[in-house]
Amino acid sequence: MRPVLLFVLVALAGCGRPTAPAIAVYPVEGRLIVSGIPAVNAQVALHPIGEPTSSYHPVGTTGADGRFRLTTHTTEDGAPAGEYVVTVIWTNHELFGGDCPCGADPTQHDRLCGAYADPATSRLRATIRAQHNEITLETTVGGGGRGWNLPRLQDAAKKTDRVAPADRDREQKQ
């Protein structure tokens, strides 16, 4: 019954006034590297520079290798051409075992402690052109030692099928 009701509501929503044409988007693939480690399961969002009230904000989530594809209208369709401030929230789910005592604000348990969570203060930038785009966002962790919670390199290697150079050398000698 609920799926039928949902279908009817969606169908009725489409029966109103015409909507503005969708803005053109271009494929965007990217990678997020933090202190040399791929950021796994981070939320990446683009905010158009000079358009604080923009109705679109392309978003993506990084995979096991730190790679993401941006979505604006439909899944992984890309982003409009332009200049953007990039925000990143890299939630540490392991820290709270699924229950976050911090409340609804994800920056309270961000591995980057909110350093890139606010478009007004994020130093990350991206340019999207009217073509297929590949962007790499690289940053190091800093900010006065506020207790950054990054995975150790050997843990990141296990989770992303990377092998730290010292471990690889040991494996080759055996």
Tokens of 157: 């290697």
Structural domains present in the chain: 23-147 (2.60.40.10)
Tokens of 47: 């905010």
Cα Dmax for the chain? 70
- pLDDT tens for the chain, 174 residues: list them: 555 444 544 454 555 555 556 799 999 999 999 999 999 999 999 999 998 778 889 999 999 999 999 999 999 999 999 999 999 999 876 554 445 545 556 556 788 888 899 999 999 999 999 999 999 999 887 543 344 455 544 444 443 333 334 444 444 444
Q: Are strands 133-139 and 28-34 parallel, antiparallel or unpaired?
A: parallel
